[in-house]
Amino acid sequence: MCSSCRWWLASLILGLFAGCSRSTTGGARAGLSARCDLDAGSCDPRPTAAVQLDLLNLRGVAVGKDGAAYVTGALIPPTRSFDGTALTSAGALDVFVGRYWPTGHAAWVRRVGDLGIQDPTGLAVTRGGTVAVAGHFTGRIQADSVSLTSPDSQGADFLLGFAASDGQLRWGHAFADGAEGALSSVAASTDQDRIAVCGHATQAATGLVPEATFQGDRDAIVALFDGSGRRIWSRQLGGAGDEDCAAVAVDASGDVYAAGAYNRAFTLATPLPETAGADNEWIWVAKLDGRTGAVVSQAAFGGPTAAQRPTSLAVDRDGAVVLGGMMNGALEFGGQSRPLVSAGYVDGFVARLDARATPPFQARWAVRLGGPSVDGTRSVAFDPFGDVIAAGFYSVRTTGAAALSGEPPGTDAFLLVLDGTTGATRSALRFGDRDTQTADRVATGQGPDGRPYLVLGGELTGTIELGSLPALRGGPAGATYLIFAR
């Protein structure tokens, strides 16, 4: 593994940060437009409910058409209580899935797993009410009428389909994709009964892609299913180098958008450009036809001597694309945006891309957020007004899209509201204290009352203060949380 192109592994040190004490929240640059305010007053989303989840990690959040928020993460021993329902892990890690109302109350919670490891990586909800959870497992997954067994000791990926109404497990699939393979992202369409997954394989992943061949170090994998679990198409994409897929989205017509990283040129519809050295990593973005999986359009973004990684991708009803991730050095998206240059080792970025531009995926705008240490964007979403919500973590202080100050030695979580047309910062909130807090997933939608809201999920040690709401407090072992805001 090359030293310069694996900089994102530095984020693993975040779990080693420790401290204690207090927390604050604060906002900046409010008031560009009344439409960004979901109540009245400033543009800062106002927390209205919060839930502390006793999970090892939080891996997925989505808002369904029913107005509920759905969440997944890893459940660990001993017995844990979720809004009055007790769940006990059968082994090391089990899959946790829950349905929560914007009030913070659970409609239902479930656990799935056995003595092995069942670790979810993402969650999405279809228009038809299927809650899709992807992840990796060893051992066995058996619940309701579904039974999956890992094909060997190195484990396999899974895709599970739960009923949104009651959490019943309706179907499941297991796919072997190599010792270091993984499904990294899952997404669903707001208008079609479609579920997309993507990740990477270290072998020919024929369980997911029957016609797959393998070359190089890692290949990207992308697949599309319907709400009943039927595979519509699947692709293994790779060349002589190291390629992966880190983020996926499905638009209103059922077409799929995917993004990942690569270090040597490989072919999608046509060859992507070289990265100026195998120690560099560039970002690839592609649109795939929802009927066939054929690559419709593609683009690549990078810099001369740096490594870039996408982490999240979202598409709105009009086909606009927003991409978030982590960067160091210089990153150019072209179009109407200026080159981004990191302020320190690693910064977060957010870019709005135009899939219909010539050439495709030129940027309408692009912004960065970061300071002298390791910072990153973990999740992006469009809100119902067309603005962009971005969430992630930072340490020490930031410049760029917002000036935020942290409390070392840990990291703080951030939440940005960016103007969807211009990228201007409407709101910038921080959550944290001297311990470690991250914002890992954000989703938006409309509640049962028809009012828009957002839900933010992440991990914490220490304390997050939320004004008039009870504080969130994670012990030395950490905790996970959901914050609902309007």
CB 71 within 8 A of CB 123: yes
Q: Which residues pair with 119 in a beta bridge?
A: 136
Of 475, 434, 479, the closest CA to residue 459 belongs to 479
Q: Which residues pair with 454 in a beta bridge?
A: 444, 485
At 334-367, the pLDDT tens digits run: 999 999 999 999 999 999 999 999 999 999 999 9
Of 147, 143, 175, the closest CA to residue 159 belongs to 175
What's 93-159 look like in SS3?
Answer: EEEEEEEECCCCCEEEEEEECCCCEEEEEEEEECCCCEEEEEEEECCEEEECCEEEECCCCCCEEEE
- Amino acid identity, position 463: T
How far is Cα 115 from Cα 138, in angstroms, rounded to an integer?
9
Q: Is 403 helix (H, G, I), strand (E, B) or coil?
A: coil
Q: Which two tokens stand for residue 76?
A: 């660990």
The number of residues making up the chain comes to: 486
Chain centroid to Cα 378, Å, comes to 6
Q: What pLDDT was estimated at residue 42?
A: 66
Chain centroid to Cα 227, Å, comes to 20
Which pTM value belongs to this model?
0.91
Q: Is 3 helix (H, G, I), strand (E, B) or coil?
A: coil
Q: Which residues pair with 444 in a beta bridge?
A: 454
How far is Cα 245 from Cα 233, in angstroms, rounded to an integer?
16
Element (H, E) at 169: strand 169-175
Residue 42: partners with Cβ closer than 8 Å, 6 or more residues away: 27, 30, 31, 427
Residue 405: partners with Cβ closer than 8 Å, 6 or more residues away: 396, 397, 430
Q: Which two tokens stand for residue 140?
A: 């066995």
How far is Cα 110 from Cα 86, in angstroms, rounded to an integer?
10
Walk me through the domains of the chain, giving residue ranges and CATH numbers.
7-176+302-485 (2.120.10), 177-301 (no CATH)
Residue 403: partners with Cβ closer than 8 Å, 6 or more residues away: 28, 397
What's 22-89 look like in SS3?
Answer: CCEEECCCCCCCHHHCCCCCCCCCCEEEEEEECCCEEEEEEECCCCCEEEEEEECCCCEEECCEEECC
pLDDT by residue for the chain (486 residues), tens only, comes to 333 333 333 333 333 232 322 233 333 333 334 444 444 446 899 999 999 999 999 999 999 999 999 999 999 999 999 999 999 999 889 999 999 999 999 999 999 999 889 999 999 999 999 999 999 999 899 999 999 998 777 889 999 999 999 999 999 999 999 888 999 999 999 898 999 999 999 999 999 999 999 988 899 999 999 999 999 999 999 999 999 999 999 999 999 999 999 999 999 999 999 997 767 899 999 999 999 999 999 999 998 777 899 999 999 988 899 999 999 999 999 999 999 999 999 999 999 999 999 999 999 999 999 999 999 999 999 998 899 999 999 999 999 999 999 988 999 999 999 999 999 999 999 999 999 999 999 999 999 999 999 999 999 999 999 999 999 999 888 899 999 999
In the sheet with 247-250, reading across from the earlier edge strand, the strands are 247-250, 256-262, 282-288, 295-301
Chain centroid to Cα 343, Å, comes to 24
CB 207 within 8 A of CB 177: yes
